[in-house]
Structure 1
């Protein structure tokens, strides 16, 4: 099994999740988040934290998390890449990890049966 984590532009989230549904993906966790990367943060567009004027320079992103069969990984990554792409800085990143174990809390099922 594989875990795919993608950080994408928030305005692309609906397009990407619709494409994943159409591609047969049965479960996606979608999390609004903020952070920073290599892109330059334009003045005045960061998040204010506690004191007025104290800007951290974070950028809004949407985090997608998917656990899938290893055989489906390339297709899912390609779907995310295709539908999240704008060609501009900040389109996002995709990371893939191996999942050693999985267990359904309600049923006790484990392994690939969980996904």
Structure 2
């Protein structure tokens, strides 16, 4: 099992989630509003003014846990529909999940997804 965590632009949320809904068997997605900054810094005067006005940039974090077989499908959708080609498009992280426990039923592993 893998956890896929993606940080994307808020403007791309609807497009990404609409396409994720098309993936057969996707168990669900958790969405959080977050703020942060990356290593990129302002390169011109207009960007510098924006960075001085906004300490942290708003982003959306998507989280989903899937069977290993679904990872490529989910990552490909996020990559395709979150992409603008500009600095700040975000990141996708894929991590191994050792165990999942469903609190209500005490199911474990794949049954708990």
TM-score above 0.5: yes
More off after superposition, 88-97 vs 32-41:
32-41
Higher percent of residues as helix: 2
* Correspondences of 1:8-87 after superposition (within 5 Å): 8-24=8-24, 25-40=26-41, 42-43=47-48, 45=50, 57-87=55-85
Which residue number corresponds to residue 5 of structure 1? Answer: 5
Give how far 1:103 is off: 0.6
Q: Distance in 2 between matches of 1:6 and 1:82?
A: 12
Which residue number corresponds to residue 111 of structure 1? Answer: 109
Taking structure 2 as the reference length, what is the TM-score of the superposition?
Answer: 0.87
Q: How many residues were matched structurally?
A: 108
Give how far 1:39 is off: 2.5
Partner SS state of residue 95, structure 2 = strand
RMSD (Å), alpha carbons:
1.7
